[in-house]
Amino acid sequence: METILETIDPVNPEADVIRRAAEFIKNGDLVAFPTETVYGLGADALRPEASQKIYAAKGRPSDNPLIVHIAQIEDLYRIADPVPEEALLLAKRFWPGPLTMILHKKECVPKQTTGGLNTVAIRFPSHPVARELIRQSGCLIAAPSANTSGRPSPTCAEHVHRDLDGRIAMILDGGEVGLGLESTIIDLSVDRPAVLRPGFITAEMLKEVLGDVDGEKPFAETGHEDSHAPKAPGMKYTHYAPKAPMTLVRGEQEAVIRTIRQLAAKHREKGERIGILCSDETAGSYEDGLIKSIGSRAAEAEIAHNLYRVLREFDEQDLDAIYSEMFDTAGVGQAIMNRMLKAAGHRILDAD
């Protein structure tokens, strides 16, 4: 299949481009589009054949559920029952925006969209292109991140093109996304609301609205991912993994730098090339290896925005290993470390 690549104004999307993309969605075909979090791969959420095309294009396991995107709060009632008071409170406070809620699904939502579950994940994105596409198509749009399964989520159209060219009908290129990490997911289908995936809307922010929320455990408490049952089906799969094995190095900054420098020297002696993922503050302390800063430690949003791009840049080089510094786990830092731990397959080395 030939994939049409079309640029689109991310602030005031051109109506004719949206119309053409919406035709594909109405036809049951796939369109990749920018959202405020990462690029999504969209299809009509209420048509099983359309959803199934997403799984085929991404190589995504069929029991890994999709998020359904809506463009008005009332659409909650089309696909969820009941719609609890908590959902409306959160919608009023955080929608449109990077928050996904899990609710009990209505009959009309096919199991192909929910990975076989009786619940459905729902988000109202704020990106004008996403909103216009949903509105113009008249559909609700199932859209996971527009990457090949197991690769870092795409933060620009170029990443989507790399992964999915020839497998989908159209890519809308609205430039780089704003946030760069996937939405926060909160499960409201259970007695006690629980954060299943941390993101820009933090557990603290959710608590301000709901009072009680079971927050994602900070990475230090959770140990290896395999050691406990996945809370959400999709979580048992490795995500965001760069090609070269990645290890996070933990400890005081000085010790971390020393350890990574020693590792770099050892790899060099063996004739191997490594990548080093660090911050603006520490980048000057390394010599050997491909050194990449993901931003200043003082600017969490910048780090979140750059993480996936840098992981993909490492993938373009033939590296034998990647070593990374660790980052704060307060606020958005929790989401950043959650993704980094997944990318590293939970490999942590204590600096000495």
Q: What residues line the site for Mg ion (CB under 5 A)?
A: 144-145
| 176-195 residues near ligand AMP, rule: CB under 6 A | 182, 185
- Residue 144 in the binding site for ligand AMP (CB under 6 A): yes
User: What is the C-alpha separation between 200 and 178, in angstroms, rounded?
Assistant: 12
Q: How far is the CB of 21 from Mg ion (least distance, A)?
A: 21
Q: How far is the CB of 234 from Mg ion (least distance, A)?
A: 8
| CA distances for 121 relative to 10, 270, 280, 312, 327, angstroms | 25, 48, 37, 27, 29
Q: Report angle CA 241, 243, 249 to the nearest 5 degrees.
A: 65
| Contact assessment for residue 106 and residue 79, using Cβ atoms and an 8 Å cutoff | yes
| Contact assessment for residue 234 and residue 115, using Cβ atoms and an 8 Å cutoff | yes
Residue nearer to Mg ion on the CB measure, 145 or 279: 145
Q: How far is the CB of 157 from ligand AMP (least distance, A)?
A: 17
Q: Specify the amino acid at residue 21.
A: A
Residue nearer to Mg ion on the CB measure, 55 or 323: 55
- Residue 198 in the binding site for ligand AMP (CB under 6 A): no
- Out of 120, 133, 201, 291, name the contact with ligand AMP by CB under 6 A: 120
| 218-247 residues near ligand AMP, rule: CB under 6 A | 232, 234-235
| 59-118 residues near ligand AMP, rule: CB under 6 A | 64-65, 67, 102, 114, 117
Q: How far is the CB of 189 from ligand AMP (least distance, A)?
A: 7
Q: How far is the CB of 143 from ligand AMP (least distance, A)?
A: 7
Q: How far is the CB of 245 from ligand AMP (least distance, A)?
A: 22
Residue nearer to ligand AMP on the CB measure, 102 or 140: 102
Residue nearer to Mg ion on the CB measure, 157 or 278: 157
Residues 6+ apart with CB under 8 A from 121: 65, 66, 67, 68, 100, 101, 102, 114, 185
Q: Which does 300 bind (CB under 5 to 8 A by kind): Mg ion, ligand AMP, none?
A: none
By CB under 6 A, name the binding residues for ligand AMP. Answer: 64-65, 67, 102, 114, 117, 119-121, 144-145, 182, 185, 196, 232, 234-235
